[in-house]
Amino acid sequence: MPDAPTRLDGGSLSIRREPYATLPDGRVVDRWAFGSEGAVMAEVLNLGARLQALYAPDRDGRRANIVLGGASVADMLGEAKYFGATIGRYANRIAAGELPLDGAVHRLATQGGGHTLHGGPEGFDARVWDAAEVREPGRVGVRLTLRSPDGDQGFPGALTVQVTYLLDRAGSLTIAYAAVTDAPTVVNLTNHAYFNLAGEGNGTILDHVLQIRADQYTPVDGQLIPYGPHFPVEGTPFDLVEPRPVGERITADHPQLTLAGGGFDHNWVLSPYEGNGPRPAAVLRHPASGRRLECLTTEPGLQIYTGQLFDGSLTGPGGGVYGAFAGIAVETQHFPDSPHRPRYPSTVLRPGEEYRSTTVYRFSVDRR
């Protein structure tokens, strides 16, 4: 077992803004780089409120970008559209593009398979958000704002969304979401970063070790829509209550892994938590480099996707080709298809209410 992880101490914090690219319609995409040169540095684009890069040290102090990304704006609007992006209005799937709400059924925009995925074909990942830097005692970052009109991708209600990224000196990245609406709607926001703690484009995540604080998950059908009930993880490859190598788990013989294309693309039901603030959800480690990621969240679920369908057609910003298992998504969210599942935690937001969600990715190193 590794020793207790060593927290990072990065010293002074900085933030800078610079032009990144110009879209074909003339809109400017800006990049904010912020954090600590001695610990973790982030790069966020206002295109999709996107975490484009995240630099973290290994046990020897060598830094690498540990999130996958598109090498160009064209990639970010195409094959890499979800990489690091803020996903909305509804992360994950809504079956058949049908949103039942208050006795009416709203028809949503759909993608292949006839379901609504990640907010529809023109979701929040493709928008240029307003942005402003944020400076707080001990933290710096950027706050991004988007106004989504009534009927956007078929969703009812005009929605105003804010996403705030903040980094502290110790290497904790906080992502805080807020939203208000003028009519009843549903909201389920997440960040879709793919992590590779060895460095983006540097091999696979099969040698990473994953622990999830959940004893149930939501099994899916052949179109990755949950059946409805939660199943116990005990006795299955989904049992990550104790740390296990990712490769060991996803190469097991189990029909749910086959349905997802030979890996995880599933939601874990996080265990109850009696403490204050975000609950501990998962720990991801890369033994060779010592990099360690702890995920804490106020959300009830955690969607893990192991990148089994990456086919090598995309090259990352560092020049590495993204083949199968090039990264792992650790997405905090409400459960897939919740609008059709009354027993799931509700995703309904009404006028006068405020949607709030917080996720923390805390980085440290294992010394051995």
Residue type, 238: F
Bridge partners (DSSP) listed for residue 13: 36
Q: CA dihedral defined by 266, 267, 268, 272, rounded to 10 degrees?
A: 180
The CA distance from 306 to 287, in Å, is: 18
DSSP-derived secondary structure letter, 338: G
Question: In the 8-state DSSP scheme, what is residue 258?
Answer: H
β-pairing, 355-365 with 6-7?
Answer: antiparallel
Catalytic residues: 192, 331
Q: Spell out the residues 6+ positions from residue 117 whose beta carbon is closer than 8 angstroms to its own.
A: 92, 93, 111
3-state secondary structure of 126: helix
Q: How far apart are alpha carbons 360 and 366 in whole angstroms? A: 19
Tokens 């020793």, residue located = 3
Cβ contacts of residue 169 below 8 Å, gap of 6+?
A: 8, 9, 10, 11, 12, 13, 36, 39, 138
- Cα–Cα–Cα angle for 274, 277, 283, rounded to 5 degrees: 85
Distance (Å, whole) CA 108 – CA 116: 7
Beta bridge partners of 180: 160
320 vs 234: CA distance, rounded Å = 37
Cα torsion for 82, 52, 72, 57, to the nearest 10°? -130
Coil, strand or helix: which one is 301? strand
